[in-house]
Each structure stands twice: as structure tokens, then as C-alpha cells.
């Protein structure tokens, strides 16, 4: 199928209060070129290739014109103002990060409610008054500078911290004196996909970066040749020591971490987003010691946990699809000497930490959190009781600590921070969020449905209690399905507002995720990617068959890889949905690998440069499967001008093609946020505006009645 035969202008819906009647509203005319590419003998048109140049005056004018149409449409929705007002009220609650202890001090982040960015605090004890260590809100007038990461020295005296501007993945790192709150002169730039790890003496830290890009291409150029450096405190970045790189492997990324005892630098080498990795190490007690290759077969995932002298503990899926824990003595690293400490369980092991001379193991049991305490010899100690069906995160600390902290959240309860005493085995509430709603008015249940090929798939369904199954409920189906990422229950103000409006919120755990380990992930990758879309479509059909909703009341949503999911299902089953919200999506599956870090996703997607994989990609690529003359559901595409993860060209080209193909009266709009990126670090004000736009769009086009009590 070629993309050359497109309509240049198509009618969109105009708004009449209370209904979705139509009149003609022309979109901006999008120029089409005669660009044609040859993929293994198949000619594929790409008439909107020029939109890939985000710096061109023509693209900028197109963005401005599209936003004018989109925001004009959204602002005329009568319910938008009251929805934004309610969102603002709900969002205005204190929320906390999980605290941790370092050098006799505690560190915790907090947002008062409507602050654009959370503030980092420190305190000398849990009872002491917290003092501000870093307030990102003071770094910009609009909240678009975000704290992207931080690392504290072993003695708690210094903090290296990263800043990201306007949502970009690029970071700059600085150093702050914890006691005085003053910055030192250190400044490290062009950091990406990296944290900072201090040496035991606090004399410097390890970090990873790319070479400085040309200014015009910094948001689009492919990122290759990651390098691991050591920055010595007080020296300029130009003097930083290159610790490790591989010019013979441009697609290897490096992450360096110092062990808690300060003895070793452990280097994890990844290749794209493939769960498999390599591991190297360096003995920091020996000056200029070589980097030693430990695990270089690239045969499994090896996640370093901790070490006991020369014995390294790893979480791995080697011969254990749901992961286990093994011990490797680096003085005799041959595989015959490896020891299994914690065997594979029925549940999926997702994270392991060592606190109180014990392993704290986080598992997923049908996408719900389960946490077990296991002795260092592998014997079971106990399970940590959690409040219900939800997600628990945290459980950090040092092996000598006797306490740990964790958060617990669900679809109907905001995050609560607990302190867990590992001596007594008791958890107590440390901080609890208070949001303007009653959780007892809502419920979440987990169901299992059958996908197209007979696979059993779990799905969480949340809504107000007393829901009538009469097929009329507005329903939002959200999914992801990729990169070994698990979707677990979590609280969202926007989703709560949707449920307040009488909406149903449904989240299926699609193949491609990590909920059931390696086989579940691989069943949704490369030539198997269609399984993910089949799972999502089957979830929609189950909700309709069980009278939760109907096609005209059903919306689908997803971001990034989830944006691909929405785009693919939108093109494959336009009849099944009343609205679609693809966010920052990967929508051009033939060219995604040519921009920024897109090449890394070929481990999940495959590549159009491979003939067999091209056929699979071309078969579902959302951009290439839009058909002129088709009635597509109301669609609001969202992206941002500083998204250098999934470049906005994906959304630009898809929007242009969808507008040209649309034969129905439903709108095909694109909302392009400025001074924002893929999502991380987005200011609260922008989050509220975007949520208000999306909910108003759904309310209008699914014809949801806003109750008087909501107003």
C-alpha cells in the first residue's frame, strides 16, 4: 500500500454545546512530496518526510497552524473549564517520594500539591524538621527545569544532581554541599541515560555521556558511542577520565556503579533495550587497575544486587524465565562455580535489595506486588504484608540498616509511604496522602480474558461502586505492551477524575510486558508484535461483550510504545472505538531507528533493514496502514517539541496522514506541547492542562454527561 494518494484537506467536527454535531472545519493544508523509498523491492511513499525537520520554518508554521485548530476545538468544549477546575482541586495534595538514609541523614522529596516540581529535602532524623536541599521551582519561571537524578556521597556531605530542561533527555550535572546548600564549581554536560555514582571517599563520581552534538541536531541525531567517565571533584569536565568505551560497538551503553563497600566499580553494558546485558568490573583499590570482563556472553539479564567481598550477587533470568538470584565469586568466575541462592518462583522476581543482612525480594503475582524477606543463604524468612491489590516500591537501604521505606499505591488510593522495621517485621505509616475524594466509593477488580490465540490475559477494571452493566458506561482502555515493562496498579488524578465522571478505567497486562517473565515479553516482540494488538483488541471486545461499554463509548489510550499500540489498533479496528488518545507514540515503524535512541528499540520491534522484520513492521505500522475513505474515531494525538526520545515527527506525519484519510466527521487533531519532552519532569501546570484537554475531548466525543455534583 502506498501513501501517495492522500486528501490534502479534510473536514473536522466543529463544536455545538452538549453534542457532537458537525460542520466543516478545514485543517491546515499539509504539503505532500513525491518521496518514495524502496524496502527490499517494495515501494513505499513518504509524502510527509519534510515534517521530520523540526527546525525548518515550514514545519514550525505547520505546528503553529495545527495547534491553532486543536486548541480552538478544545477551548470551545463547554465542559473543559469545570473539568480543569476539578483536576486542579484534586491535584492539590501533598505527595512524597520514598525516603532513604545516607551518611546519617534522611533525604526525601515532597510536592505541596500544585508545585510544578517536587522539592528535595534533607533531615538529620525522622523527627527533625526537613530543610530544603534543592528546589527546582527556583530554577525556571515556568517549572520546565526538572531534577532528573541525584546521588549522595557515603558521608552524606555532597550531592551530585542532574537537571533536564524542557523535557529533553539531555542532562547537566552539578554538585551541591548538603549542609550549606551551595553549589560547587563542578559542571558536567551532555549526559544522557546515566546516573552518578560516587567513590567511597567522595572524591568524584562516575557517569556516562555522549559526545557533544551539533546544536541543530541535538534533539534528533542518533545517539551512538556512549562513554563511561570519572569526574574528579574540583576539576573541569575536559579533564574527566575516560574509564571505558567500545568504539567497535557503537550501540553499547554503559552504566557504572560503585559497590556499597567502595571496592569495585561494576559496569553494566547494555545493547539497545534488549533485556540481556554484559557485566564488567574494576578494582578501585588498585590504582589504574584494568576493567575486567566478567559476563560477556550476552545470554541473559544480569542485574547486580550487592557483593560480599569478591562474591557478586545477581538477579538473572538465565535458565529462569521469571528470574532467580545467583552468586558469582570473581576469583573463580567459571560457570561451574556459580551458586544459586534464590531459585525461580511461581511469581516474577522484579527487584532485589540487601537490607538488615537479608534479601528483600519484590515479586509480581498476576501484576500485583508481593514482597518477601529471604536470608542471605536463600531460606525464606517471611512475607511483608501489603494493604491490598496494588504496587509497592522502594525497599532500599544498606546491608547494615535495620529499616527500609516503601510506597504503596493502587488505582483507587494515592501513595502512602511506610517505614518498615526489619527487626520486628512491622510497617508503620510514615506519610499518607490526602486527596479530595473517598476511596471507599470506588473499587478495582481483576479479571482474566482470552485473547485471539487463546492466551489468558489479566486486566484490572476500576470504577465507582454500584456500576450498572448495561453497555452505556464511558470506558477508557489503557495499555502499553512492550519492552519488558509491567503495568501495575497506580494512582492517577486524571484517572480518578474520569471515574468521578462515571467512567470505567481498564488496564490489561498485554504480552510484550514483563508481568510473567521472559516468555511473556518475547511473545510480544518483533515478529510476534501483533499479539500485543490482538490482546488489546480482545480486551475491548471483552468489555463490550460483558456490557461494561459499547464501541461508541469506548476510548483507548497509551503513550510511547503505548502510542504505537493505540495507533495500530486504531488503524486495524476503527469500528471498535469511539475515541483514541495516542501520546508521544512510535508511529512510523519503518524509520524510528534513524532518530536519537530509536535504534535501541530494534531489540523489541526489529528493523525495516531486515527483510522479514520489514514485512511484519509494514503490516502494522500505524502511519502506513491508514486507508483513505475510512471512518476513524475521534482522535487527539499528543506530542511535544522537545521530545528527543520519540521524536515528534512520528506524531506530525501520522496526524497529517490521518487528517487526509479521514472520511468520517470525527476530528483528527494533534496537540503539540511546547517546552516539554517525552513526559519525565513535566511541570504540574502542564500536566493539568493536558489532562483537562484529554478529558474534555473524551467527555465531548463520547457524549459523557458531567453531573451537577462534579461542577
Task: Show which residues are catalytic.
Answer: 560, 678
Q: CA nearest 321: which of 305, 351, 353, 343? A: 343
698, 504 Cβ separation under 8 angstroms: no
Q: What is the largest CA-CA distance in the chain?
A: 75
The answer for residues whose C-beta is within 8 angstroms of residue 665's C-beta and 6 or more apart is: 11, 12, 13, 22
At which residue does the C-alpha cell 504540574 appear? 684
9, 656 Cβ separation under 8 angstroms: no
How would you class 125 by CB atoms within 10 Å of its CB: exposed for 0-12, middle for 13-18, buried for 19 or more? exposed
- Per-residue CA distances from 231 to 12, 30, 174, 182, 290 (Å): 55, 48, 11, 19, 18
State how beta strands 105-111 and 634-640 pair: unpaired
| Entry field: residues in the chain | 711
The answer for residues whose C-beta is within 8 angstroms of residue 99's C-beta and 6 or more apart is: 106, 107, 108, 405, 417, 430
CA separation for the pair 466, 471 (Å, rounded): 14
With residues binned 3-state (H G I as helix, E B as strand, rest as coil), the percentages for the chain, rounded to 5, are 20, 35, 45
Q: CA nearest 414: which of 446, 383, 442, 384? A: 442
The answer for residues whose C-beta is within 8 angstroms of residue 445's C-beta and 6 or more apart is: 460, 461
C-alpha cell at 165: 530542561
SS3 452: coil
The counts of H helices and E strands in the chain are 10, 39
CA separation for the pair 305, 352 (Å, rounded): 6
At which residue does the C-alpha cell 546521588 appear? 151
Report DSSP state, residue 674: S
532, 564 Cβ separation under 8 angstroms: no
482, 532 Cβ separation under 8 angstroms: yes
Amino acid at each position: 500500500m502506498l501513501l501517495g494518494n492522500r486528501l490534502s484537506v479534510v473536514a473536522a467536527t466543529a463544536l455545538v454545546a452538549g453534542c457532537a454535531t458537525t460542520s466543516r472545519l478545514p485543517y491546515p493544508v499539509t504539503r505532500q512530496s513525491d518521496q518514495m523509498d524502496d524496502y527490499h523491492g517494495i515501494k513505499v511513499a513518504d509524502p510527509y518526510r519534510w515534517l521530520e525537520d523540526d527546525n525548518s520554518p515550514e514545519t514550525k508554521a505547520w505546528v503553529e497552524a495545527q495547534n491553532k485548530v486543536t486548541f480552538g476545538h478544545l477551548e470551545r468544549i463547554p465542559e473543559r473549564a469545570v473539568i480543569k477546575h476539578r483536576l486542579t482541586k484534586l491535584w492539590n495534595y501533598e505527595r512524597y517520594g520514598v525516603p532513604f538514609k545516607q551518611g546519617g541523614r534522611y533525604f526525601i522529596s515532597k510536592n505541596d500539591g500544585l508545585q510544578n516540581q517536587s522539592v528535595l529535602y534533607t533531615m538529620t532524623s525522622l523527627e527533625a524538621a526537613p530543610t530544603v536541599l534543592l528546589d527546582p521551582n527556583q530554577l525556571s519561571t515556568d517549572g520546565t527545569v526538572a531534577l532528573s537524578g541525584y546521588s549522595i556521597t557515603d558521608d552524606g556531605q555532597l550531592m551530585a544532581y542532574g537537571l533536564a530542561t524542557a523535557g529533553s533527555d539531555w542532562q547537566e550535572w552539578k554538585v551541591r554541599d548538603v549542609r550549606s546548600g551551595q553549589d560547587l564549581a563542578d559542571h558536567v554536560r551532555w549526559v544522557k541515560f546515566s546516573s552518578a555514582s560516587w567513590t567511597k571517599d567522595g572524591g568524584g563520581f562516575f557517569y556516562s555521556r555522549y559526545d557533544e552534538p551539533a546544536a541543530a541536531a541535538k534533539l534528533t541525531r542518533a545517539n551512538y558511542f556512549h562513554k563511561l567517565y570519572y569526574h574528579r571533584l574540583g576539576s573541569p569536565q575536559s579533564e574527566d577520565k575516560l574509564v571505558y568505551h567500545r568504539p567497535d560497538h557503537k550501540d553499547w551503553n554503559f552504566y557504572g556503579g560503585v559497590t556499597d563497600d567502595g571496592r569495585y566499580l561494576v559496569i553494566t553494558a547494555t545493547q539497545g533495550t534488549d533485556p540481556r546485558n554484559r557485566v564488567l568490573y574494576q578494582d578501585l583499590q588498585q590504582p589504574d587497575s584494568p576493567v575486567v570482563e566478567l559476563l560477556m556472553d550476552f545470554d541473559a539479564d544480569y542485574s547486580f544486587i550487592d557483593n560480599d567481598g569478591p562474591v557478586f550477587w545477581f538477579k538473572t533470568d538465565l535458565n529462569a524465565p521469571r528470574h532467580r538470584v545467583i552468586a558469582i565469586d570473581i576469583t573463580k568466575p567459571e560457570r561451574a562455580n556459580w551458586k544459586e541462592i534464590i531459585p525461580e518462583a511461581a511469581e516474577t522476581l522484579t527487584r532485589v535489595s540487601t537490607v538488615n543482612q537479608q534479601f528483600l525480594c519484590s515479586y509480581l503475582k498476576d501484576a500485583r506486588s508481593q514482597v518477601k524477606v529471604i536470608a542471605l543463604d536463600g531460606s525464606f524468612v517471611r512475607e511483608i504484608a501489603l494493604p491490598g491489590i496494588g504496587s509497592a516500591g522502594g525497599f532500599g537501604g544498606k546491608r547494615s540498616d535495620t529499616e527500609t521505606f516503601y510506597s504503596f499505591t493502587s488505582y483507587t488510593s494515592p501513595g502512602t509511604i511506610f517505614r518498615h522495621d526489619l527487626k520486628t517485621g512491622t510497617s508503620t505509616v510514615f506519610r499518607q496522602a490526602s486527596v479530595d475524594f473517598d476511596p471507599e466509593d470506588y473499587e478495582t477488580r481483576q479479571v482474566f480474558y482470552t485473547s485471539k490465540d487463546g492466551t489468558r490475559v489479566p486486566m484490572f477494571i476500576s470504577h465507582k461502586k454500584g456500576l450498572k452493566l448495561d453497555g452505556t458506561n464511558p470506558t477508557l482502555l489503557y495499555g502499553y505492551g512492550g519492552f519488558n515493562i509491567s503495568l501495575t496498579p497506580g494512582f492517577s488524578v486524571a484517572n480518578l477524575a474520569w471515574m468521578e465522571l462515571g467512567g470505567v478505567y481498564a488496564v490489561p497486562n498485554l504480552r510484550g510486558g514483563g508481568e510473567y517473565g521472559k516468555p511473556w515479553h518475547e511473545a510480544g516482540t518483533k515478529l510476534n508484535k501483533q499479539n500485543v494488538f490482538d490482546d488489546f483488541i480482545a480486551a475491548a471486545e471483552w468489555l463490550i461483550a460483558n456490557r461494561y461499554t459499547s464501541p461508541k463509548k469506548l476510548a483507548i489510550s497509551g503513550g510511547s510504545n503505548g502510542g504505537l499500540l493505540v495507533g495500530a489498533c486504531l488503524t486495524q479496528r476503527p469500528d471498535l472505538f469511539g475515541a483514541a488518545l495516542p501520546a508521544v507514540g512510535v508511529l512510523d515503524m519503518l524509520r524510528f531507528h534513524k532518530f536519537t535512541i530509536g535504534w535501541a528499540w530494534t531489540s523489541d520491534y526489529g528493523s525495516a533493514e531486515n527483510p522479514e522484520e520489514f514485512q511484519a513492521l509494514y503490516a502494522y505500522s500505524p502511519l502506513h496502514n491508514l486507508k483513505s475513505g475510512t471512518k476513524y474515531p475521534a482522535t487527539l494525538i499528543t506530542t511535544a517539541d522537545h521530545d528527543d526520545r520519540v521524536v515528534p515527527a512520528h506524531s506530525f506525519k501520522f496526524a497529517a496522514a490521518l487528517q487526509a484519510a479521514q472520511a468520517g466527521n470525527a476530528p483528527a487533531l494533534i496537540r503539540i506541547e511546547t517546552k516539554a519532552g517525552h513526559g519525565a519532569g513535566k511541570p504540574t501546570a502542564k500536566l493539568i492542562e493536558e489532562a483537562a484537554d484529554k478529558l474534555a475531548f473524551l467527555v465531548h466525543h463520547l457524549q459523557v454527561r458531567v453531573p451537577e455534583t462534579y461542577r
